[in-house]
Amino acid sequence: MENLEATVKEALEMFRPQLQADGGDMEYVGIDEENRVHLNLTGACGSCPMATMTLKMGIERYLKDACPEIKEVVQDNAQNMDQMGF
């Protein structure tokens, strides 16, 4: 699990500049027992209506390529998006 976490963190660091270029960022929360990576999207990404697409089509796809054992990427602060009507 420690090796997986290290690989995931390294892959996230490689992806991070793409989020930062748009004024956003991400915060690593952890990996659960089902090999789902939990993140919080922050900055511009935290309130962007396209954040879910970025998460699934961008970060999740990138992470699955780097770490095939990852099943899914979950946005832990997504409930904020639901409250905003997105």
What pLDDT sits at residue 86?
36
For the chain, 86 residues long, the average pLDDT of each consecutive 10-residue run is 90 94 94 96 88 90 95 81 40
> Tokens 């659960």 map to which residue?
32
What pLDDT sits at residue 2?
76
**If residue 16 lies in a helix (H) or strand (E), which one and from where to where?**
helix 2-20
* Cα(18)–Cα(14) distance, integer angstroms: 9
Planar angle of CA 85, 73, 38, nearest 5 degrees: 85
Within 13 Å and on the Cβ side, how many CA atoms surround 59?
Answer: 32
* Cα(75)–Cα(50) distance, integer angstroms: 13
